[in-house]
């Protein structure tokens, strides 16, 4: 397996640090694979190759979280145009304005301290 010294998670985080939404693709299964892994689900094939998403998707499901302390936020499932679904959140609009079917675009959120960056989304067009 090429680049076996680096874990799939480390490769994914490296993509995020470059501002990219990396994902894997299995040629034998003919489909995108996300969350990063060593072998493809269903087939068990180790033919996974890395690709970079264009970063556009559609909100599949969303909910608003009301924590006891702090501000409300949304949690959503996004169907990324390349063929995989991921959990994230939509920023830059109030959580209650995130709607199923809304087009969104990827960006990297870089937390303070030594935490790894993670993907979030923003509306792709004016709300």
Q: What is the 3-state secondary structure (H, E, C) of 14-70?
A: HHHHCCCCEEEEECCCCEEECCCCCCCCCCCCCCCEEEECCCEEEEEEEEEECCCCC
CB atoms within 10 A of CB 9: 12
Q: Which CATH number fits domain 56-123: 2.60.40, 2.60.120, 3.30.70, 2.40.50?
A: 2.40.50
| pTM for this entry | 0.86
Average pLDDT, the chain: 91
pLDDT at 127 over 50: no
pLDDT value of position 113: 84
Pairwise CA distance, residues 71 & 63, whole Å: 14
Pairwise CA distance, residues 115 & 6, whole Å: 19
The ranges assigned to domains in the chain are: 8-52, 56-123
């Amino acid at each position: 397996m090429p680049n076996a010294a680096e874990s799939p998670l480390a490769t994914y985080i490296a993509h995020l640090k470059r501002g990219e939404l990396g994902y894997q693709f299995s040629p034998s299964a003919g489909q995108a694979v996300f969350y990063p892994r060593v072998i493809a689900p269903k087939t068990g094939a180790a033919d996974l190759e890395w690709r970079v998403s264009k970063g556009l998707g559609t909100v599949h499901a969303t909910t608003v979280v009301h924590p006891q302390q702090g501000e409300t936020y949304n949690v959503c499932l996004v169907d990324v145009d390349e063929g995989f679904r991921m959990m994230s959140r939509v920023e830059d609009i109030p959580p209650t304005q995130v709607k199923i079917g809304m087009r969104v675009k990827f960006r990297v959120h870089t937390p303070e301290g030594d935490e790894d960056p993670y993907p979030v989304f923003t509306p792709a067009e004016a709300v």
